[in-house]
Amino acid sequence: MPSLRTIPAPVEALLGSDALAHIITSNADGTPQVSVVWCGVRGEHVVFCTEGNTAKVRNLRREPRVLLSIEDEARNASGTQQHLVLHGHVIDVGPVDADLCNELCRTYVGRADHPLNLRHSATAVTVTVEIDRIGGNGPWGS
């Protein structure tokens, strides 16, 4: 499936906010597995840091297709909550990116020196997702 070459500005703005993302991966038996991640943008990719020994990472290593769902605080003209749905696939599960961990901690909890920062974790990884399709309810289309 062809991936997007650029992330539209409204999508990048929501991904750069403190809106939590729900990532859906596939368990080995085909059932969905849902986790919350703090995510950001690097170029045309969505990135997040997580512990490497989680079901989410095991699933991503086996089946790279993912779905990310992010709820926006804004409402559209008809009054319904905007939300973003990203269909994508993981292109890398690599070493933890300390700068990204610091950035995400500042965005989500207000400071980089928070105990939830994974930059010093011996098992944390950085996951890079290539977006294949954008949907949802908002300025990014449906």
Asked if residues 23 and 37 have their Cβ atoms less than 8 Å apart, the reply is yes
Tally of domains in the chain: 1
Q: Judge whether 1 lies within some domain.
A: no
Distances (CA, A) of 92 to 65, 86, 130, 141, 142: 12, 17, 9, 27, 27
pLDDT, one tens digit per residue, over 126-135 is: 999 999 999 9
| Residue 31 belongs to a domain | yes
pLDDT, one tens digit per residue, over 21-49 is 999 999 999 999 999 999 999 999 999 99
Q: Establish if 142 belongs to a structural domain.
A: no
Q: What pLDDT score does 28 carry? A: 96
**36 found inside a domain:** yes
Read off the CATH number of the domain in which 13 is found: 2.30.110.10
Domain that holds residue 67: 9-137
pLDDT of residue 84: 96
Report the C-alpha gap between 119 and 81 in whole angstroms: 34
Question: Is residue 68 included in any domain, yes or no?
Answer: yes
3 found inside a domain: no
Considering the domain boundaries, does residue 28 fall inside one?
Answer: yes
Give CA–CA dist 22/38, Å, rounded: 9
Weakly modelled stretches of the chain, pLDDT under 50: none
The pTM of the full predicted model, rounded to 2 decimals, is 0.92
Residue 100 lies in a domain: yes
What pLDDT was estimated at residue 3? 59
